[in-house]
Amino acid sequence: MKNLDINVFSELNILLNGVDVVEPIRASKRKMALLEYLILNNQRPVSVARLAEVIWGEDEEINVENALKTLVSRLRKDLEEYELDGAIVTVPSGYMWGPEQPTQIDAFRMEEISEAVSNVETLKPYVRDQFEEFLSLYTGDLLPNSSLDKWIAPKSYYYHDLYLKTVHQYIELLKKEKEYGEIIRVCKIALDIDPFDSMINLELMSALLKTGKSKEALEQYQNTTNLQYTHLGLKPSEEILNFYKELIKGEKSSEAEIEEICKELRRGMPDPGAFVCEYAIFKDVYHLQMRNLKRMGTAMFLALVDVRRMDNKEMEALEIKQVMARTLDVMRESLRQGDTISRYSPLQYVVLLPSVTSSVTGRTVIERVKRLFYSNSKNAKYIFSCKVVPLEMD
């Protein structure tokens, strides 16, 4: 008996006993469009009018009904060479994909599994097997190279969301069992598909921390925030930003004597220039400084630094990474040790200036930073702007 498997993720493959019958058809854009549309409407009749609309659009210069008959005939011949004689069936007013032998289509199998596990509460062996099969089925977007992109796009989003929803469910069940090693493995598989999903990144970092891999958790944190800032152009979620504090706590889990802590604090010299930290830590520094202001009755200023291209064109990820790194180097070098810097958004830094006591002094500080920024010829096509405001005590 023939063994027929159809894969529609990443690209269309029809594997007949392990041989891809689609390969000789790929050169024909319209044959591929017809094949893809019939397969994704598996066992459902599709009218001639609908197929004509999908494949030829509004082309009024041809007789689409005759053109479709010719196209179907040629595609049938291609399939018959692999003994798939009944793959395309003629039905009243149209055609249908309906091979005689049983066929597994990965997208539909994926839906079946997702439905089957949707309400499970424990990871019984057969449930675990279903989740693992599910993970193996989704290998990328639905037919990303298809000429039917307008029709494919919403279906592609649907399967992508279904994948993430089911993976999230699997992770939650693994958390109940405290299988953190498995969570790490599943998260890494899922992040190969979607490296930007905040929840999966957070679950991976948490599982790494719980298994004592704090260094790897920190690397994942840095990679995640960098992806959010530079590739998506977004500020990472509060949950991810706050995770940094959990990382710090995790590194200091054992008890120590006060003498050891004093030695550790005295060890080494502080970095020159301003203090650079994650935004979650920046907020803690802000609250600490504000308490000091209230007690001492002094002033403090907050600066927001923006970097933009002069031609207002959007920057690619690598360009953002490079110009923001240069900007940070400039600020760290030209600001004082008591000042604090953090990344606020893809193209912004926020700065606490406790040493600045007046608007005049604030402008002087920023002009110094700006001059140093423009002294680098690589920054000639960028605009460095900064707004400085006094912080008022509640």
Q: For residue 231, is it within any domain?
A: no
> Within this chain, do residues 168 and 294 fall inside the same structural domain, yes or no?
no
Structure token digits, residue 34 = 């017809």
In a domain, 36, yes or no: yes
Q: Is residue 119 part of a domain?
A: yes
Residue 16's pLDDT is 86
Residue 348 sits at φ, ψ, to 5 deg, of -140, 145
In a domain, 29, yes or no: yes
259 lies in a domain? Answer: no
Are 148 and 38 found together in one domain?
yes
- Residues 172, 287 within the same domain: no
Considering the domain boundaries, does residue 333 fall inside one?
A: yes
Q: Which one, of 74, 72, 80, 77, lies nearest residue 48 by Cα?
A: 72
What tokens does 166 get?
């089911």
Residues 167 and 295 in one domain: no
Contact 32, 26 (CB under 8 A): yes
Task: Please indicate, yes or no, whether residues 163 and 285 belong to a single structural domain of this protein.
Answer: no
What CATH number has the domain bearing residue 3?
A: 1.10.10.10
Do 16 and 162 fall within a single domain?
yes
Amino acid (1-letter code) at residue 88:
I
Domain range for 133: 1-177
Q: Is residue 282 part of a domain?
A: yes
Angle at 77 between CA 72 and CA 83, to 5 degrees: 120
Per-residue pLDDT, 292: 75
Residue 180 has a pLDDT of 96
CATH no. for residue 362? Answer: 3.30.70.270
pLDDT given at position 270: 61
Domain assignment present for residue 62? The answer is yes
Give the residue from 150, 177, 204 where a domain finishes. Answer: 177
Statement to judge: residues 160 and 15 lie in one domain:
yes
Q: One digit per residue, pLDDT tens: the chain, 394 residues?
A: 467 889 999 899 998 888 899 988 999 999 999 999 999 998 889 999 999 988 988 765 678 888 999 999 999 999 998 888 888 999 988 999 886 666 789 999 999 999 999 999 999 999 999 999 999 999 999 999 999 988 999 999 999 999 999 999 999 999 999 999 999 999 999 999 999 999 999 999 999 999 989 889 989 998 899 888 888 787 888 888 888 877 776 555 555 577 776 776 666 666 667 899 888 889 888 888 888 777 766 678 999 999 999 999 999 989 999 999 999 999 998 898 889 999 999 999 999 998 787 888 888 888 999 999 999 999 999 999 999 988 876 5
Q: For the chain, how many structural domains are there in total? A: 2
Specify whether the CB–CB gap between 347 and 385 falls below 8 A: no
* CA–centroid distance for 390 within its chain: 37
Domain's final residue, options 132, 158, 177 = 177
Cβ 11 vs Cβ 106: under 8 Å: no
Residues 2 and 113 in one domain: yes
34 shares its domain with 163 = yes
The domain boundary residue, chosen from 127, 148, 177: 177
